[in-house]
Each structure stands twice: as structure tokens, then as C-alpha cells.
Chains A and B, each alone.
Chain A
Amino acid sequence: MKSAAQICAQVGAVLEPRGLKKEVDLASSFAWRQERTPEVVLTGVAVIDALTGGLPRANLTEISGPPSSGRTALEHALLASLTVNGESCALIDAEDAFDPVSAEATGVDLDRLLWVRCGGLEQALSAADLVLGAGGFGAVVFDLAGVPPKRVRRIPLSYWFRFRRAVERTPTVLALIDEEPCAQSAASLVLRLEAEGAQWSTLASSHRNSELENHKSPLLAGSPPGIPPHGRLLAGIRRHAEVVRNRFVVQASSLRYQAGVAGSMPAPQSGRAAIDNRQSAIGHEFRLSLHPGLLRAGCGSS
């Protein structure tokens, strides 16, 4: 097997007659580059941070999962953790599905978010090229969650490598949100989320019970005390998170975690209280696991 020095000399010999040798820095091109452990960004979702160690900057992170699996919640959490610290983020929204109200409730500073509302996959890819070329964003989220997996799989792999190349040596977290993993080895971290079922609670068991009773809602009229007709709330979703690929440090192999009903949330603006208060009463349950074989693969490359 040829060494790097031999290959360097061979390439130099080819280029020299063409007068190109001086224009190409062969020594630095063939130099060994030590891959450093990147700086990470904690999403604020404790179980995900515990499982992944945080999302790496200067790398492509892929968050996959079917609808209702928590991809968007994780996306909002990432944007919130960066924007509250004053970093600007960009969201390339292929399907124009972003909900600023729920993002703001998560803590996203909307003033620091560049939202690109695309009208399809082609527009989204062009917009991603432009945003990544501008640079300077703390995170660029490429949201393809609503695009059918069949169409996403048709995107050439070279796109993902080009995007990853664009954020290399920059402090940008590039997050790809989709239904099925598609970036393959271009992604440094691939996180798979699954929804296992919803949790419903009656108003009697909810912490919002007293509030609703005090409000004297018409829905409560004529019903037994504490239990209105259809008297239950969407309390959360049981979810399953799995690290499919991690080129860097793996923090945990398996972890069970259950979240209750969310407590303190930012106070909504006047005029949106009715919808937001109901939304804030919703929590998640995560059950985390990491397949032993995948764990070995992740450790081996680090």
C-alpha cells in the first residue's frame, strides 16, 4: 500500500509538466488532520442531551422519525437553546409548517430566527445553499419532516456532503429533520425518534383542573364537579429515542425517562391565552435506548 508521501510525489509528478504544481498545496492536502471532538450544543431536552452528549457544531445531525415522534419539539428546543444565548439561527422550512406560537412557547427568540418558508423541496435545497453560504448562524435547521420519504430519498447524497462541507470549521449546527434517514455517512449524528402512544389525563387529575373550575367554562356546566363532558386533556406522548449513528462520544447506552406534565412555561401574550394554555399543559415521555452494535460503531470512529 502506498504511503501518503508516495502518493503526494506521484501527483506532483503528474502536475509538474502541466505547470500546475505550484498552484496546488500538495503537502497540506495530504497532511494528516486530527479529527477534533467538536463543540456541542445542549438542546435543553435532558434525555436527548444525556443520550447524545449534545448536538455537535460543524457537523450534520439528522433527526428522523414518523409524525408525532417529537422531531419538531426537539427542533424547537435546539433553536431555543441557541437563540436565548443571543445566537442567530435559520430554519429552512420545506413545507411551510413551522408554528411560531409553539416555538415561542418553547423559548425560541423569534427575533433571532430567520424563517425561510419554502414552497417545495427544490426551493428548500436552493435556500439551504444560500443560507449555508452566508454563514454565521448558530444553527441551520433543514426541516424536511413533512416531505414524503420517497422524495427525500431522491436527493443525491452529494447534497448532504456539500452541506456538511459548508459548515465544517464553522460554529454552525446543521440539523436535518426528516421522516427516514437519508444523509447516510454525511451525518455525524443520526437520532431516530418513535411515538409509542399518547397520554391522556382527565381534568380532575390535571394541574389545570382548579384553573378551569375557577374559569367557570361553559364546558363544565351541568357536569359532575371536576369532570366535564369529554373531560380529558392530551397530557403527553410516550416516545422512544435511539442513536443510530454517532461519530463522537456516546454518553449513555440506555436510559428510561418519564416526564410528567410540563409546569412553568413562558406566559403567552394577551389574545392567545386560550390555545396556548392548553398547549402548555402537555408533556412528553421518552424511553431511550441504544443498540449495542451501533454503540460499538459510534465508539470506534471517535
Chain B
Amino acid sequence: MSFACLYIPDFYAQAVVRLEPGLRGHALAVVETAPPPFRVFALNEAARRAGAEPGMSRVEVAEIPGVEVRRRSPAAEDSTHAALLDLARSFSPRFEDLAVDTVTLDLAGLEALLGAPEEIARRLRESAQELGLEANVALAPNPDAARLAARGFAGITLIGAGEESERIGGLPLEVLAPAPEALETLERWGIRSFRALAALPTAELSERLGQEGVRLQQLARGVTLRALVPAPEPLHFEEAMDLDYPVAELDPLAFILGRLLNQLCARLSARGRATQELRLTLGVDGSKEEVNSQQLAVKSRESKVESQKPATLDSQLSTLDTFDFLTPRTPNTESRVLRLPFPTGNARLLLKLWLLDLEARPPAAPVLKVALEAEPVRPRVAQGDLFLPRAPDPQKLELTLARLKGVVGEERAGAPEILDTHRPDALRIRKFTEVGSSSGTRDSKAGIKKSRVESRKSKVPKADTRHPTPDNRPSMALRLFRPPLVAQVELRDGRPVRVEARRERGQVARGAVVRGHVTASAGPWRTSGDWWTDHPWERDEWDVEVVSGQWSVVSWPASTKVEDRRLKVERVQLYRIYCDLEEGQWFVEALYD
């Protein structure tokens, strides 16, 4: 038994159920997407038992009680087929992609790795179940016998060497999928099973049905011998779902994304891969009036409240009324990319990150299609190191950064990077990533090495910081006012003698910030730049000491009342002010602190 075959019965129905697990166990009819009329394209066994048949109209099948009707989803079928191939690839590098629902594997050498044939068959079936698929598994000495057994028998079938003809002899001829003319001829002869076909004399069969008849007979005897045609190995991971009704709220979208991510991560895991970059493509309803982000956010909040109430029939019907099933839809696509500094296959983490992104930037209109594509990379090889410095967990950090983005806004949280220019306060915010974290990919080994070097450097004895030396004194720090405060400055002999500046409306705290006499000053220092651009700047800077009287509450003695501890004190404050020579306006730029 060196060949195995996986066959997914009722593939088209299972492709729908895979992305909508709530339908598992229900009778399901899949209708064509092309109107009108919507004919039944595929069924599952429960629907057949209920009386549904292929070719029935949507209306007819909807009248059968207990049968769920869903539209056919080519995207779901493609992703299900891709998942089936990934499953085969995770067991054996040699497999043949026979049909959308069938894959045959070469098991040579797998016994040493996985155990007895029964164990291999059980693992294949369980792996398919993890992907949300109910598969028939058959093991046989040749690939065709395995394929026919998988198509003909439910569950697991094991066929030993020399047993092929006997085991598959009882199968009906339809399993062979002969040409309709050949099938009609054979039925006219009274041949209805493999065993009957195998018993016919080969020469006479060849005279009447030609080489096709001989081929069918060899298949029915289970004695064909051919080499597998291995499938190529594309590393393309995509899961998609076409929605019957447009989704305008984030909560139902979260469920859909969760399912797709679970499937995607399972496929990545089956191929021993993780992902560092995910692309989400949303097909939004272009025919509908655009729903702006505020409306969506409000709907999301309302849906949270509504979800706590049981859904009534009226509300469900009203939802159905709002969507015209027959109107052709013209979805526009919106794409967004999630890049991670580390590879992961954690579906929960990815779902949280996508939800935070969608909350921050909701889709412009109700969603009709969701597609997720993952860029596969090798997973992290995590190995702890006692000598690495403390660092946040990369996954937690990524999640925290995404949440911070929601709190403080886009590009307001990250690592500062000073730009190489004379222009004051010229900086940008880079994405904060853990430099040389302990859990990195092989690609990030360079970072780990760098960190180790730095770790060694840190062990070099430094100057004793407990004793003041010229090298460990604090330098002066600046606190910037962003934007600089517009100031009124009194000058005497060209030097500032009084400064007053207020915060303007919209800044963090309004009111007078700087007010007082200048007791000492130094300057001016003239700087300029960007005169070759449309935004030149030129200014004279001053360092000024401002003394102002302020009410203050001293902290000691703590036992007395606050009122008794209030003192008016004269405080010395040092500011950097400048005069913008382009505008002739004074500003307070920073506080020395």
C-alpha cells in the first residue's frame, strides 16, 4: 500500500460549509451564481435525502423544509482546493492533483516516519477534518485503485497487494466515470459493477468498445500501473469569501475575518510556514451610496448593543428587504496591508491586529467580498538567551502599537528619527521594532548578533557614576512647545527684557505659559536654511532667563493644610525664544529643563 487518495465528497457544498461552519450537519443546496433562474448546482447527502436534486430552481429547493440554500462561491472553492493540496504536501512531496476534489499521494517511505498504513490513513483524515473537510481516504498498491476506492467507499479504506480486484469489484460503473456512450452500452449489456466488467473477455471488449473499453476494464480489475504526475509547488496562500449580503458593521466582519484567518493559518502551518505580511482585499458595494467612516463606527457601536438582544424575525426580514438579490453587484476593491516585524501563524493575534486596523480605518461602503492573502516565510526559531537585554514580547508589542495607534493616532507612536537637516524640530516617527529581540527569525540573526556585541560592550567597566566626573554630568535638556508659542517680546537696546506667551485654542492647556521679566539673556544666534526651496527659514535665537512670581504649594510639612503651604515664590525659568525673520514674529520654542 504505497499510494493514498483523498477524495472530498460533495466538494462544492463542503467548500461553502468550510467557511460557514454553522451549516455543518444541515441539508445544503448550492445554487449557481448566474441568474436567472438560479439552478441547484450541488447538494450534500442530507439535502439529497430531503428530496432535493441538481437542476431544481432556487424557488423549488427553498420550498423543501430543512434545506439551506447558498450561492456558489468560486473563491471558496479555490481556497478549499488549495487547502487540500497543502494538506497533501504536508504529508508527501510527491502528490498528484487529479481533480478539484481529489488528490493522490505517494506514501513510499512514510511508514518509517508515520507508522502503519492505518495510522497514516487516520492522520490524513484527521488533518482534513482540521481544515474543515470530511474526506474519504483510501490506501492501495496503485494510484488508480486508491482513487476509485476513495470515490466509491466512505471513510477509510485499506486495500492490500493482490486484493484490488476483490475489494473494488462491488463498486458501480459510475465511479469509473466512463464516457456516456460507453456507459450506456455497458448498461445495455447488463454490466453494472466493476466485478462484471472485469470478468468480460478482453479481446471481445476491445472489438466492441476499443481501447477505452480495455482501459476501463483494467481500472475495474485494479491492476493499472502508472507513475504519478507530481503537482508543482506554488507557495500561494489566499482565502476568500463572497458574501450573500453586504456587511456594513465591524462585528460580523470580525467573524468572517476570524474564519478566513483560521483557515489561512492552518494552511500555513500545514506547509511549515508563517507569515510576515498579510494583504486584505475588501470588495465594497460600489452601487450603494458611500457610507462614511463615522457612520460605520456608529453602526459598529450600535451593533454591540443590538447583539445583546435576541434577533427577531422582523429584524431579519427587514435586513433581507434591504438587499436586492437579483440586482447585479459591482464591487469596488479596497486593499490594505499588514506588515509585521516577526513571522507568526497566530490567527488570534492577526485577527486583533486587523480589527484594530478596521476600527481605525473602516471600509468606505458595505463589504461584499473578503479576501486574505498571506506572504509565506519561515517561522520564527525562538531560542532564549540569558545575555540578551530585556525586551517586550514581539507579539504583545505589535498589538500594543496597533492599540496605541487607535488611541493617539497614526504615526504618533514609534521610535523617533532625527532628520539630517538644520531645520528645527525636523524628525519623523519610525515603526518601533524590538532591536535584536530574543525571538527572531533566521533573517534577524544579524540583529541578535549585534545585540550580543552590545551586550559584551555593556560589560566593559564604565566610569563609576557615583563620583562626579566631567563625563557623567547631565547635559541640558529641552522641552519643546509644539507648535512654538507666539510671544510678545519687549526689546531694549536690541535685547529682550520682557516675554509673554500664551497657549492658543486647541493646545493641551490654555493660558499664559511664559510671563515675566528677562533678567539675563544670551544671543542672538542666527540660523537659516532651505533658502533654495519654497519654504526658507531664518531666525535669531536667544536663551533667556525669565523670573516670574508664581503661587506654589510646598510639599512639606505634609501635616499642615494646603492653604497654609501656599507661597508666592519667584521662579527662575530658562527658555529658548526666537524671532522669525521671515515673518518678524517672536516665538517661544522650548524650555530648558
A269 adjacent to chain B (CB < 8 Å) = yes
Q: CA A84 – CA B458 in complex, angstroms?
A: 8
Q: Are A119 and B409 in contact (CB under 8 A)?
A: yes
Tell which of A87, A95, A171, A219 has the most Cβ of chain B within 10 Å: A95
Identify which of A94, A105, A171, A275 gathers the most chain B CB atoms within 10 Å of its CB.
A275
A117 lies within 8 A of B413 (CB)? yes
A residues whose Cβ falls under 8 Å from a Cβ of B: 42-47, 49-50, 64, 66-77, 84-88, 94-106, 110-121, 123, 126-127, 130-131, 133-138, 145-149, 151, 171, 180-181, 192, 195-198, 200, 218-219, 230, 232-234, 236-237, 244, 257, 259-260, 262-265, 269-272, 274-275, 278-280, 282-284, 291, 294
Q: Given A88-B390, A274-B422, verify A102-B465 contact (CB < 8 Å).
A: no
Q: How far is the CB of B392 from chain A (nearest CB, A)?
A: 3
B-chain residues with CB within 8 Å of residue A145 when the two chains form the complex: 479, 593
Which of B206-214, B262-270, B337-345, B551-559 lines the interface with chain A?
Answer: B551-559
Is the pair A68, B473 in contact by a Cβ cutoff of 8 Å?
no
Q: A136-B396, A198-B520 are in contact. Are A263 and B471 (CB under 8 A)?
A: yes
List, in ascending order, chain A residues with CB within 8 A of B396's CB. 134-136
Q: A67-B571, A86-B455 are in contact. Are A272 and B403 (CB under 8 A)?
A: no
Is the beta-carbon distance between A136 and B465 smaller than 8 angstroms? Answer: no
A87 to B458: give the CA distance in the assembly, Å: 11
Question: Which stretch, B60-68, B73-81, B136-144, B522-530, touches the partner chain A?
Answer: B522-530
Chain B residues contacting A96 (CB-CB under 8 Å) are 482, 508
Cα(A68)–Cα(B544), bound, Å: 12
Bound complex: CA A71 to CA B476 (Å): 10
The residue in chain B whose Cβ has the minimal distance to the Cβ of A258 is B468
Contact B523 A230 (CB under 8 A): yes
With A70-B474, A181-B555 as known contacts, state yes or no: A271 contacts B422, CB within 8 Å.
Answer: yes
Interchain nearest-CB distance for B418 vs A (Å): 5
Contact of A68 among B399, B468, B523, B592 (CB under 8 A): B592
| B512 shortest CB reach to chain A, Å | 11
Instruction: Judge whether B392 and A116 touch: CB under 8 Å.
Output: no
Contact A130:B404 (CB < 8 A) given known A71-B593, A114-B432, A237-B574: yes
Pick the contact of A257: B468, B476, B524 (CB < 8 A). B468
Pairwise interchain contact B480-A98, C-beta atoms closer than 8 A: yes
- B466, A50: Cβ atoms closer than 8 Å: yes
The answer to whether B477 touches A136 (Cβ under 8 A) is no
User: What residues of A have a CB within 8 angstroms of the CB of B258 in the complex?
Assistant: none
B residues less than 8 Å from A180 (CB atoms): 553, 555
Main secondary structure of the interface of A (DSSP, over half): mixed
Q: In whole angstroms, what is the CA distance A300 to B416 when docked?
A: 42
Do the beta carbons of B508 and A234 come within 8 Å of each other?
no
CB-defined contacts of A72 to chain B, threshold 8 Å: 477-479, 593
Interface flag for B99 (CB, 8 Å): no
* B571 contacts A195, C-beta separation under 8 Å: yes
Contact, CB under 8 Å: A73 / B476? yes
Question: In the complex, how many angstroms separate the beta carbon of B592 from the nearest chain A beta carbon?
Answer: 6
Contact A131 B434 (CB under 8 A): no
In the bound assembly, the distance between CA atoms of A75 and B478 in angstroms comes to 11
Interface residues on B, range: 35 or more
Q: Which of B458, B471, B476 has the most CB of A within 10 A?
A: B476
Interface of B is mostly: mixed
Contact call B508/A146, Cβ cutoff below 8 A: yes
Taking a contact as CB atoms under 8 Å apart, the answer to whether B571 and A131 are in contact is no
Among the listed B404, B409, B427, B477, which residue makes an inter-chain contact with A106, where contact means beta carbons less than 8 Å apart? B477
A-B contact pairs, 27 of them (CB 8 A): A46-B468, A46-B473, A47-B468, A70-B477, A70-B593, A71-B593, A72-B479, A95-B509, A101-B418, A101-B478, A104-B418, A106-B474, A117-B429, A119-B408, A123-B407, A134-B392, A134-B393, A136-B390, A148-B511, A181-B555, A198-B520, A198-B572, A236-B476, A269-B418, A271-B421, A275-B527, A282-B476
- The closest CB in chain A to the CB of B509 belongs to A148
Asked whether, in the complex, the Cβ of A110 is within 8 Å of the Cβ of B480, the reply is no
Which of A45, A121, A263 has a CB less than 8 Å from the CB of B470?
A: A263
Interface centre among A148, A233, A234 (most CB of B within 10 A): A234
Q: Which of B420, B435, B479, B590 contacts A269 (CB 8 A)?
A: B420
B451 CB–A CB distance under 8 Å = yes
Which of B465, B479, B525 has the largest count of A CB atoms less than 10 A from its CB? Answer: B479
Asked whether, in the complex, the Cβ of B414 is within 8 Å of the Cβ of A112, the reply is no
- The A-contacting residues of B in range 448-491, CB under 8 angstroms, are 451, 454-455, 458, 465-482
Residue B272 at the chain A interface, CB threshold 8 Å? no
Report how far A19 CA is from B408 CA in the complex, Å.
44
Q: Which residues from A are CB-within-8-Å of B553?
A: 149, 180
Smallest distance from the beta carbon of B423 to chain A beta carbons, Å? 9
B397, A136: Cβ atoms under 8 Å? yes
A98 / chain B contacts, CB cutoff of 8 Å: 416, 479-480
Indicate whether A115 sits within 8 Å of B400 (C-beta atoms), given known contacts A49-B465, A95-B508, A259-B473. Answer: no
Chain B residues near A67 (CB-CB < 8 A): 479, 571, 573, 591, 593
- Docked-complex contact A118 and B465, CB < 8 angstroms: no
**Minimum C-beta distance from A71 to chain B (A):** 6
In the complex, the answer to whether A130 meets B571 with C-beta atoms within 8 Å is no
Tell whether, in the assembled complex, residue B404 and residue A115 are in contact, meaning their CB atoms are under 8 Å apart.
no
B473 touches A262 (CB 8 A): yes
B392 to A147, Cβ gap below 8 A?
no
B436 contacts partner chain A, Cβ-Cβ < 8 Å: yes
Chain A residues with CB under 8 A of B545: 197-198, 200
CB nearest neighbor in B for A280: B475
A140 nearest CB across to chain B (Å)? 11
Q: Does B391 contact A (CB under 8 A)?
A: yes
Q: Which of B408, B553, B556 has the most CB of A within 10 A?
A: B408
Bound-state CA distance A147–B390 (Å) is: 31
What is the CA–CA distance of A87 and B454 in the complex, to the nearest angstrom? 11
Do A294 and B477 have beta carbons less than 8 Å apart? Answer: no
Question: Any chain A CB within 8 A of the CB of B415?
Answer: yes
Of A74, A97, A272, the residue contacting B481 (CB under 8 A) is: A97
Nearest 6 CB-CB pairings of A with B: A136-B392, A86-B389, A72-B593, A134-B400, A72-B477, A282-B476
Residues of A within 8 A of B391 (CB): 87-88, 136
Which residue of chain A has its CB nearest to the CB of B420? A271
Since A76-B474, A131-B400 are in contact, a sample of 17 more A-B pairs with Cβ atoms closer than 8 Å, ordered by chain A residue number, is A44-B465, A46-B465, A49-B466, A67-B591, A72-B477, A116-B413, A119-B412, A134-B400, A135-B393, A136-B391, A196-B572, A198-B520, A234-B476, A234-B574, A263-B470, A270-B420, A271-B420
- Chain A: which residue is nearest B413 at the CB level? A116
Contact A230 B470 (CB under 8 A): no
Given the complex, which residues of B lie within 8 Å of A42, measured CB to CB?
465-466
A274 neighbours in B (Cβ, 8 Å): 422, 525, 527
> Are B470 and A260 in contact, CB atoms less than 8 angstroms apart?
yes
- A282 proximity list for chain B (CB < 8 A): 475-476, 592
Tell whether B293 is near chain A: CB-to-CB under 8 Å.
no
What are the residues of chain B within 8 A of A64 when measuring CB–CB? Answer: 555
**Bound Cα distance from A265 to B471, whole angstroms:** 8
Measured CB to CB, the nearest residue on chain A to B495 is: A230
Q: Is the CB of B574 within 8 A of A136?
A: no
- A100: chain B residues at CB < 8 Å are 416-418, 427
Cα-based distance from A130 to B408 in the complex (angstroms): 11
CA distance A165 to B392 in the complex (A): 18
Contacts of A279 in B (CB 8 A): 475-476, 478
Task: Assess whether B593 is in contact with A234, with CB atoms less than 8 Å apart.
Answer: no
Question: Bound complex: CA of A42 vs CA of B590, how far in Å?
Answer: 27
**A110 and B416: CB pair below 8 A?**
yes
Q: How far apart are A281's CB and chain B's nearest CB, in angstroms? A: 9
In the complex formed, the residue of A with least CB distance to B574 is: A68
